[in-house]
Structures are given as C-alpha cells and as structure tokens.
Amino acid sequence: MRRVLLGFIGVTALWAAPEYQRDVRPILARRCVSCHRPGEIGPMALTSFAEVRPWAKALRQAVAKGTMPPWHADPAKSVAFHNDRSLTAAERKTLLDWVDGGAVEGQAAAASVAEVKPAGWGLGQPDLIIKVPRFAIPNAGTIQYTFLVTPTDLPEAKWIAAAEWRIDKRSLVHHINAFIRPKGSSYVSDAPAGQFFVASKASRASRRPDEREADRRELLLGYEPGYRPQGWGDGRAKLLPKSADIVFEMHYTANGKAAVDESELGIYFAKDAPRERVLTITPADSAFAIPPGDGNVPSSTAAILQRELTLLSMQPHMHLCALNHKVALREA
Ligand code: HEC
C-alpha cells in the first residue's frame, strides 16, 4: 500500500515540473533573449535548450537573487512602469522550479517555434534610414565622444511617429544619441557637416540667452544597452522642422578587439498630424559633487514649461567621472 502511494506522488511531481520547451522558453523569449542572443550585450545566448542548459545553475542564482533581468526600481516603492522588465512571481517560480526539477527539455509545443524575433527593424521598414558612416573603433584606449552632423535636407517639416536604432557592434557602443537640431541652432554650431567631429565642451554647452530648448536641439532617440524599440504611442509624434539636421553623438568603448561600427537610425513618419507633440527635454544638474561616503546627496534641476503637459517618461542618469570624482546627470 505504501509503495503504491509513493509511486503516485512521484508521478504527480514529474507531471508538474516545468519543462524548458513548454514553460521556460517562452519566459526567456519574453524577458531575457532581447539581451541574451548573438550580437547582444548578454555574455551568452539563451535562445535554445542547448545554450540554456549549461547555464541552469547560474540562471537559478541570478533569478533567485533578482539580478536578472536587470531592473533596479523597487516595485514596493515605485509606480508601475510601462517598460518594467522584471519577472512576475509566477515566471520567477517557473524558472526556479525548472532548475530544481532537473532542468529538463520536454517536448516543443508546435506553436512556440518562432518566438525569437530575427534581427531586423522591430517596428517594420522605416520611411527613412540614416546611416552612421563606418566608424573605426580601436582595440584600446579612450575614445572621445564623437559627433556627426547629418543634414536632412527635407523641403518641409515632418512629424516623426517613431524612430528605431539598429546598432551594429553592440558590445562596443556605450551609447548613441540622435538629436534634432533646427536650422540656426547654437548647438555644436562649429561642427562640420558629414564628418566625425570631437566637439569641445563649450560647443556642446553653447546656447543663446533667448534660445528655447526646442529651438536648440531635441533628443530624438537615444540608444544604450538594454534599449528596446518602442514608439511614442498613437496620435503622438516629434516635430522634425524643415531643413533640420540630425546630430549623432556617439560614445564607443574599446574592448580589446578593433572593429568597424555601422549603425543605422530608422525614422517612421506620421501619416497625419498628431494629436500631441512629444518633446524630449534634457535639463541637467551637471555640477554636483558627492562627498566620499555620503549616501544621500540631493540633486535638482529645473526647466520652465510654457504650457500644461503630460510626463511620458523620465530618465535619471548618472555618470562616474574618474578624473574629478564628480557625478553628473546626463545632458541627454
Ligand atoms: C537588459 C539586458 C539583459 C536582460 C533583459 C537579461 N540579461 Fe542576463 N545579463 C546581461 C548582462 C549584460 C550580463 C553580464 C553581466 C555582468 O557581467 O555583470 C548578464 C548576465 C547573466 C547571467 C550570468 C551571471 C553570472 O553568473 O555570471 C545569467 C545567468 C543571466 N544573465 C541570466 C538572465 C536571465 C535568466 C534573464 C531573463 C530572466 C536575463 N539574464 C535577462 C543582460 C541582460
């Protein structure tokens, strides 16, 4: 009698243990593979059972500790974020139970085949593709922030419904920002068009006293590791004024292997005039210093807004500056 009972329990447990193909693969596809696939920033690909199985223990540890997927907002203390990439409690449990249950593969469900999107434009074929010319990244050394002014030469103003980066050498790109620079702007006004250029600090900070932020420059789209293509939402768009330039600001980091980067910016124009204009402003407190050991230093910055608006997103950003031990909020 006892034997039969044990056997029964064993069968139940086996049936309930999560399997890679049925239970784990969809979670990894949703939560991990955007970084853990060839060419991305994750140190290993997690797109197949053969790739994932050797990492089962490390995966368990990272998930149990909450270090993966990277998401630093504490859900108990923060608002709900639209782009929250953390695991749900059920997803977390499935991953942990899968490893504890022996990390078995199981059978592939027929419908789960094409979960990993091929590399390409996530938002579809852009209306306009602006290529960043080939940039040779050396194998070592510090690479200065590099600028490139690309005139759009569009005969009329356009509304941009969305933009997307296609980054080539992801392991070497610390960030790339694309700014819209209206004609007559004071922003890096000494940069020659069409050539890589290291802008001086003064040129980057220049502003005429009466110049409005949106007339000087606007961040169209930034890329940094972890970036996911995303539009601004229905009925919303950014303005690309007539004859505006796109100014690229590139920060490459050497990692021991020289390479040539050929990244691209895709632009999707709105079909109709939008209901709402989206504007990205970048006020910064770039002069505050954190005394060594002080864990609670406030920083503030301000911008004067001309009208009521809705806050769509916010990106606090800090840099450690090794030279003078200052931390600056990012300008962009
Ligand atoms: C936003 C990008 C990103 C996402 C999403 C992400 N990872 Fe990672 N992951 C990384 C990076 C970058 C590293 C290397 C971190 C380092 O070296 O400090 C890493 C490292 C790891 C490691 C190795 C840790 C170790 O022990 O060395 C594991 C395991 C891992 N990730 C699992 C996952 C799993 C599982 C998910 C999804 C649930 C996930 N990651 C989602 C970027 C990501």
Digit-coded pLDDT (tens) for 267-302: 999 999 999 999 998 887 877 788 888 888 888 888
List the residue whose alpha carbon is closest to atom 10 of ligand 1: 42
Predicted confidence (pLDDT) per residue in 213-247, tens digit: 889 999 999 998 878 888 888 999 999 999 999 99
Atom from ligand 1 closest to the CA of residue 34: 5
Amino acid identity, position 265: L
Average pLDDT over residues 120-147: 91
- Check residues 114 and 278 and name the one with the higher pLDDT: 278
Confirm if 39 and 124 have CB atoms less than 8 A apart: no
CA distances from 312 to 182, 184, 232, 277 (A): 23, 28, 9, 11
Q: What distance in Å separates the CA atoms of residue 298 and residue 289, rounded to the nearest whole number?
A: 10
- Check residues 258 and 227 and name the one with the higher pLDDT: 258
Confirm if 55 and 44 have CB atoms less than 8 A apart: yes
List the residue whose alpha carbon is closest to atom 28 of ligand 1: 59
pLDDT band at 135 (very low <50, low <70, confident <90, very high): very high
Q: What distance in Å separates the CA atoms of residue 72 and residue 287, rounded to the nearest whole number?
A: 25
| Mean pLDDT of all residues belonging to the chain | 85
Q: What distance in Å separates the CA atoms of residue 170 and residue 256, rounded to the nearest whole number?
A: 14
Asked if the bond preceding 283 is cis, omega within 30° of 0, the reply is no
Q: What distance in Å separates the CA atoms of residue 79 and residue 311, rounded to the nearest whole number?
A: 13
- Check residues 20 and 319 and name the one with the higher pLDDT: 20
pLDDT band at 11 (very low <50, low <70, confident <90, very high): very low
Q: How far is the CA of 165 from the centre of ligand 1 (A)?
A: 22
Judged by phi (left if over 0) then psi (alpha if -120 to 50, else beta), residue 226 lies in left
Quote the pLDDT of residue 140.
Answer: 92
Token representation of residue 287: 């002069």
The residue to mutate among 36, 41, 48, 224, having the most atoms of ligand 1 within 8 angstroms of its beta carbon, is 36
Q: How far is the CA of 68 from the centre of ligand 1 (A)?
A: 5
Sign of torsion over alpha carbons 230, 223, 221, 131 = negative
* Residue closest to 28 by CA, chosen among 8, 56, 2: 56
List the residue whose alpha carbon is closest to atom 26 of ligand 1: 58
Token representation of residue 31: 């939560």
27 pLDDT above the threshold of 50: yes
Query: What is the distance in angstroms between the CA of the first residue and the CA of the last residue of the chain?
Result: 71
Q: What distance in Å separates the CA atoms of residue 63 and residue 59, rounded to the nearest whole number?
A: 6
Quote the pLDDT of residue 117.
Answer: 52
Share of the chain above pLDDT 90, in %: 55
Confirm if 76 and 66 have CB atoms less than 8 A apart: no
Quote the pLDDT of residue 2.
Answer: 46
Q: What distance in Å separates the CA atoms of residue 226 and residue 34, rounded to the nearest whole number?
A: 8
Q: How far is the CA of 172 from the centre of ligand 1 (A)?
A: 17
3 pLDDT above the threshold of 60: no
Quote the pLDDT of residue 122.
Answer: 84
pLDDT band at 97 (very low <50, low <70, confident <90, very high): very high
The residue to mutate among 55, 68, 253, having the most atoms of ligand 1 within 8 angstroms of its beta carbon, is 68
Quote the pLDDT of residue 116.
Answer: 52
Q: What distance in Å separates the CA atoms of residue 191 and residue 182, rounded to the nearest whole number?
A: 14
